A and B are shown apart, each in its own frame.
Chain A
Amino acid sequence: MAYKIAIGTSDGVNVDLKFGEVKSFTIYSVEGKEYGLLEVRDVPEADTSKEAEASGCAPSGCEQPTQGCSVGCGGCGGNSSGCGGPGELTEKIAVIGDCRSVVCKKVGFQAQKQFEKKAISVFDVECTVKEALDKITFYYDKLDNHQSLKVNR
């Protein structure tokens, strides 16, 4: 089964970006144990009003019924879409919604929870892109083929 992995990297060599810093995700496609660079996906620039809302407490943000609630902006009462997290975050996650996992240097708690909802695995590690891909593809390959991860020592 083919799947995709999204990586936050500035130079294509090291996993060196925090999830929040990522302006464009490097997407790899994987088939079995083989992987290759697929594309680079830009994260759409958030407009300023949304940014203000996402960063916390712009009072006007809470009055927009279509927007989710952000942390500390006075609750999400009356919002039919529920607590979907800050708008910018939701959009950014949607960019890589078709990926099986995301690899960044750090991923915040809110984002981790959002990914969990979409069954996307989060790996916040500092290593080379190659190491991350090798380890993750090895893991998924075993998992998909119902093989034990047991290491014989």
Chain B
Amino acid sequence: MSDIMENPKGGCVLAGINSVLGALDRVCPVYHSGPGCCMQTTAADQGQSGHKNSCFVASVSIPSSNMLEKEVVFGGTDKLRTTIQGAIDIIDADAYFVLTGCTAGIIGDDIVSVTNEFSSKGIPVYPIDTPGFAGDSTLGYEIVWNNFIDQVIEEGVEKDDKLVNIFGIIPYHDTFWSGTLEEIDRVLSKLGLKVNTFFTKHQGIETIKKCSAAALNIIINPWLFKGPSEKFEQKFGVPSLRIPGLFVGATDTTVFVRKVAEALGLDKALVDKVIAEEEDYVYNYLAQAIGVVSWKRFAVVADANNAVGFTRYLANDYSFTPVLVIVSEPIFRPQDKERIIERINDLEYATPPKVLFLTDQYEINKAIREEKEEITLLVGSSNEREIALEKDIQFITGAFPVNERLIFNRTYAGYKGSLTFTEDIYDNL
């Protein structure tokens, strides 16, 4: 059952939860865990995500109960109580979330009773009782939203038929998250929609409380968020639209826009106008640089979302030849794997590439090293740079983790993102 993995991409559940809370404006996590968890979980996701960190609290500035042997033997709830009080005294946050590390999970400290002492006094302290060992960063994203649905999001908020929620892009665990969310926000806003990205525009806990007013939940991911989306629909009656993979380039982004428009019954004339404008913008640029990037036989190593987006853009829009696609995040449900393979294989005219699901860096490197067909471009994370150098193939960093670039609002997604992507391919020739 248990295996040793070389260079896992991301961290434990706690790392995923910390990434989401860190991206929310004025929200403070409080760790009930051993000393070191704050720093390590931040290093696992935020620390490898283009040198961008949560600036409210992150890493060593996160309050932690620092459980030691005494807390293991006698229980750590007393120490947790003083830690929460200390956080409230010192950090002026809109909400506090108490997270449990492995230690607290093993000894079974009752954190809910402690947070209740504070919430009964009207102080917004919420428990997220999921120990670190329960899974990986992606599960952390789902856990946070499950807890928001259970504890934070309000019922009976007046519906707004122009409001949409965006899910499926994990802050920091997807290095380009803020740029991607901004591009989605930009395109959807042109359609007259109000967009909850939750992690940009200084949206915070208040936005989350009222997000049950939305007319549609848009999940941009081929597999993530299945459980929470069903729960969301059950509790608040908001239906979900799954976009099975990030859209890079005009073709897929237009499909995305049309799907959203259809689901919400938007005015067709407006939708056509927006699409025409956006496509004109992209194609006008591409037309000015035809042939500057020569034909490539490419491989992609990325999380499922980005792997789908990159492969489809390069194969469909840029007529490169896909050779090998490695989905480098752990995916367990067979139907999810099938959906991802289908999206990667359903190309307009290219021969479908080989699709592998590998999370171990040794196996990823081995698959690329031993690939019989020639590869001349590799889109991957910083971890794949080594094998690209070894095989002497062109390499661009397009997926988490990214250690050698500073990334603010750069994205490869959407209409404008595809231009950036194409520029970057040229830059790395």
Contacts and interface: CB of A to CB of B under 8 A. Distances in A.
Contacts of A139: 72-73
Interface in A131-149: 132, 135-136, 139, 148-149
A149 B131 CA distance: 14
A127 interface: yes
A136 B69 CA distance: 10
B106 A148 contact: yes
Contacts of B106: 148-151
Contact of A123 (B74, B107, B108): B74
Interface in A94-153: 121-125, 127, 132, 135-136, 139, 148-151, 153
Interface string B70-114: 101110000000000000000000000000000000111000000
A153 B74 contact: no
A85 B99 CA distance: 38
Contact of B70 (A123, A151, A153): A123
Interface string B44-82: 000000000000000000000000011011100000000
Contacts of A151: 106-108
A127 B74 contact: yes
Nearest to A123: B70
Contacts of B73: 123, 135-136, 139
A124 B78 CA distance: 13
Nearest to A125: B74
A30 B376 CA distance: 68
A125 B70 contact: yes
Contacts of B69: 121, 123
Contacts of B70: 122-125
Contacts of A135: 73-74
**Of listed B74, B106, B108, residue having the most chain A CB within 10 A:** B74
Nearest to A124: B70
A72 B74 CA distance: 34
B78 to A, nearest CB: 9
Nearest to A153: B108
A141 B73 CA distance: 12
A152 B50 CA distance: 40
Contacts of A127: 74
A136 B70 CA distance: 9
A150 B106 CA distance: 4
Contacts of A149: 72, 106-107
A110 to B, nearest CB: 17
Contacts of A123: 69-70, 73-74
A87 B104 CA distance: 38
Interface string A67-108: 000000000000000000000000000000000000000000
Contacts of B74: 123, 125, 127, 132, 135
Interface in B407-425: none
Contacts of A121: 69
A102 B108 CA distance: 24
A136 B72 CA distance: 10
Nearest to B105: A150
Nearest to B75: A135
A121 B74 CA distance: 13
A63 to B, nearest CB: 38
A1 B106 CA distance: 25
A127 B74 CA distance: 10
Nearest to A148: B106
A135 B69 CA distance: 12
B346 to A, nearest CB: 45
Nearest to B70: A123
A43 to B, nearest CB: 23
A151 B74 CA distance: 13
20 contacts: A122-B70, A123-B69, A123-B70, A123-B73, A124-B70, A125-B70, A132-B74, A135-B73, A135-B74, A136-B73, A139-B72, A139-B73, A148-B106, A149-B72, A149-B107, A150-B106, A150-B108, A151-B106, A151-B107, A153-B108
The 5 closest A-B pairs by CB, nearest first: A151-B108, A139-B73, A150-B106, A135-B73, A123-B70
Given A149-B106, A150-B108, 6 more contacts: A123-B74, A124-B70, A125-B74, A136-B73, A139-B73, A151-B106
Interface of B: 69-70, 72-74, 106-108
Interface of A: 121-125, 127, 132, 135-136, 139, 148-151, 153
